[in-house]
A and B are shown apart, each in its own frame.
Chain A
Amino acid sequence: MTTVQSRREFHLDSDTYDDLVAHARSDVPYEVCGLLAGRDGTLTAHYRIPNAARSMTLYNMDPKAMLHAMNEMDDNDWDLLGIYHSHTHTEAYPSSTDIELAFYADAVYLIVSLQAPDAPQIRAFDIVDGQVSERALVVDGERASRSLIPRNARRAGSAGEQTSGESR
């Protein structure tokens, strides 16, 4: 498997970034999944879609919830910008199943890894015809490094230690 480091970027605002991490954490140890819609590269909607597989190693978007989200995007003339899912125990890199089942070549595949529970990581990939190329993830205009710890990363139960979410 080859990974091409592309110069393309994928932009997220920090609220959405934090939402993706929160969603990933909400059903540990199971994988979660969802869709990001937008227009002209700007996000307009975030859909949490139930994982019909409810598995630690697989996801399969609930067909009906996915249909409703896709129809709403279509009706609003939004594009499907991103497809995300979580890896609760492995790195933020597409598995062989992710690559095999990547049917949406126009969307960017985002993976939220909770492998290091206190340092969740999101990475973005184009997956086209079995070829994986990573995009630089840009959060609020700044490139996220792979070791990025989101601003609200915290242990469950110690939320009070951080009085401000703005610590960059």
Chain B
Amino acid sequence: MAIEVRVPTVLRKHTEGERRVSGDGAHLRDLIDDVGDRHNGLRAALVADDGSLHRFINVYVNDEDVRFMQGIDTPLSDGDVVSILPAVAGG
């Protein structure tokens, strides 16, 4: 099972500059663990201490924001594309 992860510019320091990496996982959490094992720092950039996704990181499975799915427990399928984007927000 292969899932493509699109990595934003700001996180490419963790992927040796690669804009796309691939990984495996039945759920988003497993995928993050898998790519995090190979790309040091990526997991900490995405997951908070309590095990949930950071509040200001948007993660999408295909086109859907996982906040509106099952968050870090969202199930994944072969061929899914996971995109990561830090939020753009302010006051």
Measuring CB to CB, which residues of chain A are less than 8 angstroms from any residue of chain B?
33, 35, 49, 53, 57-61, 63-64, 66-67, 70-71, 74, 79-80, 83, 85, 94-98, 101-106
Question: What are 7 A-B pairs with beta-carbon distances under 8 A?
Answer: A53-B89, A63-B85, A70-B85, A85-B90, A98-B91, A104-B10, A106-B10
CB < 8 Å neighbour of B56 from A49, A70, A79, A103: A103
Output the nearest chain B residue to A58 by Cβ-Cβ distance: B91
Main secondary structure on chain A at its contact with chain B? mixed
Q: Which residues of B contact A57 (CB under 8 A)?
A: 91
Q: Are A106 and B91 in contact (CB under 8 A)?
A: no
Complex: A67 Cα to B65 Cα, angstroms: 9
Q: Are B58 and A67 in contact (CB under 8 A)?
A: yes
Q: Are A63 and B90 in contact (CB under 8 A)?
A: no
Q: Which residues of A contact B86 (CB under 8 A)?
A: 103-104
CB < 8 Å neighbour of B87 from A35, A60, A71, A85: A60
CB < 8 Å neighbour of A35 from B6, B67, B88: B88
Residues 1-37 of B, flagged 1 when their CB comes within 8 A of A and 0 if not, give: 0000010111000000001000000000000000000
Assess whether B49 is interfacial by the CB under 8 Å rule: no
Q: Which of A67, A96, A105 has most chain B Cβ within 10 Å? A: A67
Assess whether B83 is interfacial by the CB under 8 Å rule: yes
Q: Are A96 and B88 in contact (CB under 8 A)?
A: no
Q: Are A60 and B8 in contact (CB under 8 A)?
A: no
Complex: A48 Cα to B46 Cα, angstroms: 26
**A66-B6 contact given A71-B83, A74-B19, A101-B56, CB 8 Å threshold:** no
Q: Which residues of B contact A105 (CB under 8 A)?
A: 10
Q: Which residues of A contact B10 (CB under 8 A)?
A: 103-106
Assess whether B63 is interfacial by the CB under 8 Å rule: yes
